[in-house]
Amino acid sequence: TPYRKEDNMKSIIFDIESIANPAAIPLLPPIEVDKRLKDLVKIEAQKAEKEVQQIEKMGLDKTTCLICCITTLDVETDEVKSVELDPDTLDEKTLLEEFWEIVHPYSRFITFNGNGFDIPVLTFRSMVNNVQPSVKISTKRYQIGNHVDVRALLGDWDPRAKGTLDYYSKIILGESKADNMDGSFVQSMFDVGAYDEIREYNQAECRSLKKIYERMLGHYF
Protein backbone atom coordinates (compact mmCIF):
# COMPACT_ATOMS: atom_id res chain seq x y z
CA THR A 1 0.00 0.00 0.00
CA PRO A 2 1.49 3.40 -0.92
CA TYR A 3 2.14 5.85 1.86
CA ARG A 4 -0.93 7.95 2.57
CA LYS A 5 0.25 11.35 3.68
CA GLU A 6 -2.42 12.60 6.08
CA ASP A 7 -1.20 16.22 6.18
CA ASN A 8 1.78 18.35 5.32
CA MET A 9 3.80 17.42 8.40
CA LYS A 10 7.18 15.77 7.81
CA SER A 11 6.98 12.68 10.00
CA ILE A 12 9.58 10.46 11.64
CA ILE A 13 9.35 7.38 13.85
CA PHE A 14 11.92 6.78 16.55
CA ASP A 15 12.62 4.27 19.29
CA ILE A 16 15.32 4.07 21.95
CA GLU A 17 17.08 1.22 23.74
CA SER A 18 18.81 1.72 27.07
CA ILE A 19 21.18 -0.03 29.45
CA ALA A 20 22.42 0.51 33.00
CA ASN A 21 24.93 3.30 33.48
CA PRO A 22 28.01 1.78 35.18
CA ALA A 23 28.80 5.17 36.72
CA ALA A 24 25.53 5.02 38.67
CA ILE A 25 26.13 1.61 40.24
CA PRO A 26 27.92 3.04 43.33
CA LEU A 27 24.82 5.14 44.00
CA LEU A 28 22.57 2.11 44.38
CA PRO A 29 21.44 0.89 47.80
CA PRO A 30 23.17 -2.28 49.07
CA ILE A 31 21.59 -5.61 48.21
CA GLU A 32 19.55 -7.12 51.04
CA VAL A 33 19.02 -10.87 51.16
CA ASP A 34 16.42 -12.84 53.09
CA LYS A 35 17.66 -12.92 56.69
CA ARG A 36 16.12 -16.34 57.15
CA LEU A 37 18.65 -17.85 54.76
CA LYS A 38 21.54 -19.56 56.53
CA ASP A 39 23.12 -21.52 53.68
CA LEU A 40 26.01 -19.46 52.20
CA VAL A 41 25.44 -20.85 48.70
CA LYS A 42 21.77 -19.84 48.78
CA ILE A 43 22.64 -16.43 50.17
CA GLU A 44 25.13 -15.79 47.36
CA ALA A 45 22.66 -17.08 44.75
CA GLN A 46 19.92 -14.75 45.96
CA LYS A 47 22.33 -11.84 46.11
CA ALA A 48 23.46 -12.48 42.54
CA GLU A 49 19.85 -12.72 41.35
CA LYS A 50 18.91 -9.43 43.02
CA GLU A 51 21.98 -7.73 41.58
CA VAL A 52 20.88 -8.72 38.07
CA GLN A 53 17.37 -7.40 38.75
CA GLN A 54 18.80 -4.16 40.11
CA ILE A 55 20.92 -3.64 36.99
CA GLU A 56 17.94 -4.34 34.72
CA LYS A 57 15.85 -1.73 36.56
CA MET A 58 18.66 0.81 36.17
CA GLY A 59 18.33 0.58 32.41
CA LEU A 60 14.67 1.62 32.61
CA ASP A 61 15.27 4.56 34.97
CA LYS A 62 16.13 7.86 33.28
CA THR A 63 18.45 8.80 36.16
CA THR A 64 20.53 5.60 36.07
CA CYS A 65 20.42 4.52 32.42
CA LEU A 66 22.46 5.16 29.31
CA ILE A 67 20.83 5.26 25.89
CA CYS A 68 22.67 2.65 23.83
CA CYS A 69 20.79 2.89 20.52
CA ILE A 70 18.24 5.14 18.83
CA THR A 71 16.69 4.27 15.50
CA THR A 72 14.76 6.70 13.33
CA LEU A 73 12.56 5.86 10.36
CA ASP A 74 11.35 8.49 7.89
CA VAL A 75 7.66 7.70 7.34
CA GLU A 76 7.57 8.94 3.75
CA THR A 77 10.93 7.75 2.40
CA ASP A 78 11.44 4.66 4.59
CA GLU A 79 15.02 5.81 5.34
CA VAL A 80 16.35 4.15 8.49
CA LYS A 81 19.15 5.58 10.63
CA SER A 82 20.57 4.24 13.87
CA VAL A 83 22.89 6.04 16.26
CA GLU A 84 24.74 3.82 18.72
CA LEU A 85 26.65 4.18 21.97
CA ASP A 86 30.39 3.60 21.64
CA PRO A 87 31.01 0.65 24.00
CA ASP A 88 34.58 1.77 24.67
CA THR A 89 33.84 5.36 25.66
CA LEU A 90 30.13 5.16 26.63
CA ASP A 91 29.89 8.66 25.14
CA GLU A 92 26.15 9.24 25.40
CA LYS A 93 26.54 12.94 24.58
CA THR A 94 27.69 12.23 21.01
CA LEU A 95 24.80 9.81 20.48
CA LEU A 96 22.31 12.44 21.65
CA GLU A 97 23.83 15.17 19.49
CA GLU A 98 23.54 12.91 16.44
CA PHE A 99 19.93 12.05 17.24
CA TRP A 100 18.80 15.68 17.66
CA GLU A 101 20.53 16.57 14.40
CA ILE A 102 18.63 13.83 12.56
CA VAL A 103 15.17 14.79 13.87
CA HIS A 104 15.59 18.56 13.57
CA PRO A 105 13.95 18.88 10.09
CA TYR A 106 10.81 16.97 11.17
CA SER A 107 7.53 18.33 12.47
CA ARG A 108 5.74 15.13 13.59
CA PHE A 109 7.21 12.42 15.80
CA ILE A 110 5.78 8.92 16.18
CA THR A 111 6.64 6.69 19.13
CA PHE A 112 5.35 3.71 21.04
CA ASN A 113 5.04 4.76 24.70
CA GLY A 114 7.02 7.90 24.00
CA ASN A 115 5.07 9.79 26.66
CA GLY A 116 5.92 7.22 29.30
CA PHE A 117 9.51 6.38 28.38
CA ASP A 118 11.33 7.57 25.26
CA ILE A 119 10.78 11.31 25.54
CA PRO A 120 11.28 11.64 29.32
CA VAL A 121 14.50 9.62 28.98
CA LEU A 122 15.71 11.67 26.00
CA THR A 123 14.93 14.94 27.78
CA PHE A 124 16.64 13.97 31.03
CA ARG A 125 19.70 12.38 29.40
CA SER A 126 20.09 15.42 27.15
CA MET A 127 20.02 17.68 30.21
CA VAL A 128 22.60 15.52 32.01
CA ASN A 129 24.89 15.67 28.98
CA ASN A 130 24.24 19.38 28.39
CA VAL A 131 22.86 18.69 24.91
CA GLN A 132 20.21 21.13 23.70
CA PRO A 133 17.24 19.39 22.02
CA SER A 134 16.73 20.66 18.47
CA VAL A 135 12.93 20.34 18.72
CA LYS A 136 10.32 20.31 21.47
CA ILE A 137 8.36 17.06 21.33
CA SER A 138 4.99 17.35 23.04
CA THR A 139 4.02 14.91 25.81
CA LYS A 140 0.62 16.44 26.59
CA ARG A 141 -2.07 13.87 27.25
CA TYR A 142 -5.33 13.71 25.29
CA GLN A 143 -3.93 15.57 22.30
CA ILE A 144 -1.66 14.67 19.42
CA GLY A 145 0.10 17.93 18.59
CA ASN A 146 3.47 17.20 16.99
CA HIS A 147 3.74 13.82 18.72
CA VAL A 148 1.77 10.63 18.08
CA ASP A 149 2.21 8.15 20.92
CA VAL A 150 0.73 5.05 19.31
CA ARG A 151 0.45 3.18 22.60
CA ALA A 152 -1.39 6.07 24.26
CA LEU A 153 -3.93 6.24 21.43
CA LEU A 154 -4.51 2.50 21.21
CA GLY A 155 -4.81 2.31 25.00
CA ASP A 156 -7.28 5.22 25.12
CA TRP A 157 -4.73 7.37 27.00
CA ASP A 158 -4.64 4.94 29.93
CA PRO A 159 -0.96 4.45 30.91
CA ARG A 160 -1.92 1.20 32.66
CA ALA A 161 -3.65 -0.28 29.64
CA LYS A 162 -2.18 -3.57 28.50
CA GLY A 163 -0.48 -3.81 25.18
CA THR A 164 3.15 -4.08 24.16
CA LEU A 165 4.29 -3.32 20.62
CA ASP A 166 4.51 -7.04 19.99
CA TYR A 167 0.96 -7.51 21.27
CA TYR A 168 -0.44 -4.86 18.95
CA SER A 169 1.66 -6.16 16.05
CA LYS A 170 0.03 -9.57 16.47
CA ILE A 171 -3.50 -8.20 17.01
CA ILE A 172 -3.46 -5.56 14.25
CA LEU A 173 -0.95 -6.91 11.72
CA GLY A 174 -1.04 -10.63 12.46
CA GLU A 175 2.72 -10.76 12.89
CA SER A 176 5.34 -10.53 15.62
CA LYS A 177 7.49 -7.39 15.72
CA ALA A 178 10.77 -9.30 16.28
CA ASP A 179 11.74 -12.94 16.63
CA ASN A 180 11.69 -13.94 20.31
CA MET A 181 13.04 -10.58 21.40
CA ASP A 182 12.03 -7.80 23.74
CA GLY A 183 13.70 -4.96 25.60
CA SER A 184 14.73 -7.19 28.50
CA PHE A 185 17.40 -8.73 26.25
CA VAL A 186 19.19 -5.46 25.52
CA GLN A 187 21.34 -5.30 28.66
CA SER A 188 22.65 -8.84 28.28
CA MET A 189 23.26 -8.34 24.55
CA PHE A 190 25.24 -5.17 25.21
CA ASP A 191 27.24 -6.94 27.93
CA VAL A 192 28.36 -9.64 25.47
CA GLY A 193 29.05 -7.23 22.62
CA ALA A 194 26.02 -8.09 20.48
CA TYR A 195 25.69 -4.51 19.25
CA ASP A 196 24.54 -5.47 15.75
CA GLU A 197 21.69 -7.49 17.25
CA ILE A 198 20.56 -4.53 19.36
CA ARG A 199 20.54 -2.29 16.30
CA GLU A 200 18.62 -4.84 14.22
CA TYR A 201 16.07 -5.31 17.00
CA ASN A 202 15.65 -1.55 17.36
CA GLN A 203 15.11 -1.20 13.62
CA ALA A 204 12.59 -4.05 13.59
CA GLU A 205 10.59 -2.23 16.25
CA CYS A 206 10.48 0.93 14.17
CA ARG A 207 9.33 -0.95 11.08
CA SER A 208 6.52 -2.63 13.02
CA LEU A 209 5.53 0.70 14.49
CA LYS A 210 5.36 2.25 11.02
CA LYS A 211 2.98 -0.46 9.84
CA ILE A 212 0.70 0.08 12.84
CA TYR A 213 0.84 3.86 12.47
CA GLU A 214 -0.15 3.67 8.80
CA ARG A 215 -3.03 1.32 9.63
CA MET A 216 -4.28 3.90 12.15
CA LEU A 217 -4.48 6.71 9.58
CA GLY A 218 -8.07 7.73 9.02
CA HIS A 219 -9.18 5.90 12.16
CA TYR A 220 -7.42 7.65 15.03
CA PHE A 221 -6.32 10.88 13.35
pLDDT at residue 185, rounded to an integer: 87
Residues 6+ apart with CB under 8 A from 137: 109, 114, 119, 122, 146, 147
Which conformational region is residue 193 in: left (phi greater than 0), alpha (psi within -120 to 50 degrees), or beta?
left
pLDDT at residue 177, rounded to an integer: 64
**Amino acid letter at 138?**
S
CB atoms within 10 A of CB 103: 19
| Segments in the chain below pLDDT 50 | 1-5
Work out the percent of the chain whose per-residue pLDDT is above 70.
91
pLDDT at residue 181, rounded to an integer: 66
Rounded Cα distance, 189 and 48, in Å: 18
DSSP code of 5? Answer: -
**Amino acid letter at 67?**
I
pLDDT at residue 1, rounded to an integer: 37
Q: What is the pLDDT of residues 131-168, one digit of tens each?
A: 999 999 999 988 888 999 999 999 999 988 888 999 99
DSSP assignment of 49-74 equals HHHHHHHHHHTTSTTTEEEEEEEEEE
Q: What is the pTM of this model?
A: 0.88
Residue 71, strand partner residues: 15, 82
